[in-house]
Amino acid sequence: MQATTLQRRKIGGLEVSLTGLGCNNFGWRIDAAQSARVVQTALDSGIDFFDTADIYDKGHSEEYLGRALAGRRREAVIATKFGMKFDETRQGARPEYVRQAAEDSLRRLGTDYIDLYQIHQPDPAIAETLGALEELVHAGKVREIGCSNFSAEQIREAGGRFVSVQNHYNLLHREPEAEVLPECRRSDLAFLPYFPLANGLLTGKYRKGQPLPPGSRGDAGWGPKVFTEENLDKVERLIQFAAGRGHSLLELAFSWLAAQPTVASVIAGAVSAEQVMANAAATRWNLGPEDLRQIDAILA
C-alpha cells in the first residue's frame, strides 16, 4: 500500500504526522497480531507518530509496538512515558530509576533510541529527573524529552527543558485553554492532546436515548465522567453542525484539535485497520475562524 501524505508538524527537533496513533489498546484490548495490523496500516496510511507508555498493559504495549515496527523502525517516531507505578519497585522519577525505566523501555521496544521520552506525571524530584533525562539525550538513547499531566506552573519550573506536553484535551474537555495552552505558546512547546475522542463519545456511535454499545468503553464503566446527558446533548448539536457541512463527528473532533495552533499531533487509539484509516483521514477538514466561533457557541 502506498503511504498517504498527511500534514506534518514539529515536536522540538522531531517532525511527526498530524494524526498519531495512541497504543494504549495494545495488550489490553487487542493482541500482538492485531496490534501489528494496526501499526502496519498506520504506516501505510501516512501515520508515523506512535505514543505509548511503560505502564500500558504492564509493558505489553511497548513490546507489541516494537515487534510491529521490526524492519520499519526508521519510518516511525516513537514516544513513550515513564514515572507512573509499574510495580512495587518501579515508579517515580529519581535519576537512578529514570535510567532503569529507559533501558527497560528500549528493550521492550526493540530499539536503541526513543524519539520522545515523556515523564508521565509531575514528580517532586523534577530537577534531578531533568538531569538524568538530559544524560540520556547526550548518550543518544533519547532524542527529545517531554512531559504529561503537567500544569502551566510545573512546566515553567522545568525551565524550558521540555519540547512537549501531553494533557487531556478535546471538544468537551477544554481545561488546558486556561493556562497550559497559553504557556505552550509562550514557550514554543508542542501540545499533544490525549483522549481526543472523549473515550469514544466523539466518534458518533453514542447517541442520546440509545443504549451504550455492548463492549464499548462507555458500557465497560468509563461512562459516568463523560457519558452525561449534558454531553450527549452537545454531541447531538455537534453531529448536526458537522453533517450540515458534509462531515462526520469524528472528522470534527480531529479537525477541531488540528485547528489549535499549538497541537502537533492528534493521538487516538485504534483496535482495527478501519479505525486507523478513518483517523488518518479525519484531520483533512480545515476549519476556519467562523467555524470555530460557531462550535464555541454550540458548546457554550
CB count within 10 Å of CB 200 equals 21
C-alpha cell at 109: 521496544
pLDDT digits (tens, 9 = 90+) for 96-155: 999 999 999 999 999 999 999 999 999 988 889 999 999 999 999 999 999 999 999 999
Q: Angle at the Cα of 185 (from 183 to 190), degrees rounded to 5?
A: 95
Classify residue 213: in a domain, yes or no. no
| CA distance linking residue 24 with residue 5, whole number of Å | 25
Residue of 56, 64, 97, 194 marked catalytic: 56
Classify residue 296: in a domain, yes or no. no
- Average pLDDT for 52-63: 97
Classify residue 67: in a domain, yes or no. yes
Classify residue 219: in a domain, yes or no. no
Classify residue 125: in a domain, yes or no. yes
CATH of the domain at 180: 3.20.20.100
Structural domains counted in the chain: 1
The per-residue pLDDT for 226 is 81
Asked whether residue 273 carries a pLDDT value surpassing 80, the answer given is yes
Burial of 226 (0-12, 13-18, 19+ CB in 10 A): buried
Helix axes 273-281, 249-258, angle to 10 degrees: 50
The per-residue pLDDT for 255 is 98
Side-chain half-sphere exposure of 128, counting CA atoms within 13 A: 11
Q: Cα 197 to the chain's mean position, in Å?
A: 11
Give me Rg for the CA atoms of the chain. Answer: 19
C-alpha cell at 25: 489498546
Which domain does 97 fall in, by range?
8-201+251-285
- Which 3 state secondary structure label does DSSP give 117? strand
Classify residue 82: in a domain, yes or no. yes
Classify residue 207: in a domain, yes or no. no
Q: Which parts of the chain fold into alpha helices (H)?
A: 32-44, 60-68, 95-109, 126-138, 152-157, 180-187, 223-226, 229-243, 249-258, 273-281, 289-299
Classify residue 106: in a domain, yes or no. yes
The per-residue pLDDT for 127 is 87
User: Of 166, 161, 130, which is closest to residue 148 (Cα–Cα)?
Assistant: 166
Could you give phi then psi for residue 134, rounded to 5 degrees? -70, -30
The per-residue pLDDT for 5 is 82
CB 263 within 8 A of CB 49: no
User: Of 163, 162, 160, 176, which is closest to residue 260 (Cα–Cα)?
Assistant: 176
Q: Is 113 one of the annotated active-site residues of the chain? A: no
Asked whether residue 218 carries a pLDDT value surpassing 80, the answer given is no
